[in-house]
Structure 1
Amino acid sequence: MEVLSGPWADLALLLRQTALLSDQQQDTLVCLLLVVLFLSVSLLLLQLIVYLSWKLRQAEAELAAFPRQQDAIHRQVNQSAHRRRSFGSHSYS
C-alpha cells in the first residue's frame, strides 16, 4: 500500500475516521450536512429573489424615464394601423 502525504493523507484520515463513527454519530453528521445544504440553497434562492427584484425596479425606472417616448411610439403604431385600415376600406371602381 502506498503512503499518502499532504492533503491526500488528510482526506484519507478523515475518511477512515468517518467510517469508524458510530451510527448515531453518522446520523448526526448526515443531519448537519443536510441542514448546511438546505441553508445554502435557501441563501441562493434569496439572492436570486433580491437580484430579480433589483432588475425589475431598474426596468421600471427606465420605463418611467421615457413616458413621452412611449406615447410617441404608441401614437405612431396607432397611426400606421389606422392608415392600413383606411387604405383597405377604399374601393377602386
Structure 2
Amino acid sequence: MKSSERASEGLHSKPTFTREEVEQKILETLAEHGPLSIPEIATAIEMHPITVDQSCSRLLERGSIHPCARGIFGVSTPVEYQAEKDT
C-alpha cells in the first residue's frame, strides 16, 4: 500500500455528518445540557468549533436556538407550543 493510499484512508476514517445531522446533534445537546457556548457544544458533540459555529448561525437564523448571553446559546421554545400556550 502506498503512503498516499494510507493517508487518504485516514482522511475518511472519521464519520461524516450532513448539516441536518450536525444541527440535530446541537439541538439535542442544548436540550439536554441547557445553554452552552460554541466550544462546549463542539466538545460535547466531538465536532470542530467552526462547524458548530456555522451550524449555530443557521439554527439562530431559523429561530431554533436563541442567544442567552454573549456566545451562549439555548434551545428556543417551538412556535407551535407558544401558540398553544397563548390560547
Fold agreement, TM-score > 0.5: no
Q: Looking at secondary structure, tell me which structure has more helix per residue.
A: 1
Greater C-alpha radius of gyration:
1
Larger relative contact order (Cα-Cα within 8 Å, sequence gap ≥ 6): 2
Give the TM-score, by structure 2 length.
Answer: 0.29
